[in-house]
Amino acid sequence: MGKIFCLMGKSACGKDTIYKQILSAQNLPLKTLIPYTTRPIRDGERNGVEYYFLTDEEQQVLERQGKIIELRAYHTVHGLWKYFTVNDHQLDLANHDYLIIGTLESYARLQEYFGIDRLVPLYIDLEPGERLQRALDRERIQTEPKYAELCRRFLADEEDFSSEKLAQAKISDIFINNDSVKCAKRIISFFSRSTRNLFYKGTYINNVKYWIPQSISCNQ
């Protein structure tokens, strides 16, 4: 049976870049599970790549159809933005394994929906000062920079990904993203080693630490 690898981390920690680098690797038996959102599309994003961008009305139709697996709503300075996972044409856990970008909240809800043994957490972290600088650099190149929302998200992430909440979610292994290319390679190396047990022997790595030291610096 398939697994869902959930790539998580605070805003501007490099998740999207690492996600794309992982998917560009050859011979990884992973399919994408693209989440949905009602937030405005950013410059450089493409519909159906990072997210499926829907209107509130389209989201409500999916909700009435009972297709939404989990949903998170955030009151931003620009209004209510929703992020959600849909049980749609993408999912076939009987035959495939998936990579998704998520949050601790979505990770927990996906566990509830599919079962704990179906989810594998991959937590990305970065020094706060560097993360803030990356966020500012990214926002400056937007057609309409949203600095107030950037600040709100930065502070909210410190709470949403606190050490207490990571411990509650039983996530202790961390990929430190000082270099996205090296970080992606370390994760790909993890996949390459673990798939021998995970995909072909049919047994999940109950102890992820067998493959990953407690704190992994992707500088190495």
Q: What is the mean pLDDT of residues 105-126?
A: 93
pLDDT for position 130: 95
* Residue 210 structural domain: 4-217
Average pLDDT, the chain: 85
Among the residue ranges 117-121, 173-177, 191-195, the one predicted with the least confidence is 191-195
Q: What is the mean pLDDT of residues 122-139?
A: 95
Give which of 67, 58, 99, 104 is closest to 85, Cα–Cα: 67
Q: What are the distances in angstroms from CA 108 to CA 12, 35, 168?
A: 22, 15, 10
pLDDT for position 173: 76
What is the identity of the amino acid at 205?
I
pLDDT for position 1: 75
Q: Please tell me the pTM assigned to this model.
A: 0.80
pLDDT for position 193: 63
pLDDT for position 49: 87
Q: Is the pLDDT of residue 33 over 80?
A: yes
pLDDT for position 212: 33
* Spatial separation of the C-alpha atoms in residues 24 and 114, rounded to whole Å: 27
- Residues 147-166 pLDDT 10s: 999 999 999 999 999 999 99
- Residues 65-112 pLDDT 10s: 999 999 999 999 899 999 999 999 888 999 998 999 999 999 999 999
Q: Is the pLDDT of residue 219 over 70?
A: no
Q: What are the distances in angstroms from CA 196 to CA 100, 122, 174?
A: 21, 18, 22
Q: What are residue 217's DSSP bridge partners?
A: 176
Q: What are the distances in angstroms from CA 156 to CA 11, 74, 151, 174?
A: 10, 10, 9, 20
Number of domains comprising the chain: 1
- Residues 180-202 pLDDT 10s: 999 998 888 877 665 544 433 33
Instruction: Kindly state the tokens that stand for 43.
Output: 């410059």
Give the pLDDT band of residue 177 (cuts 50, 70, 90): very high
Q: What's the CATH number where 85 sits?
A: 3.40.50.300
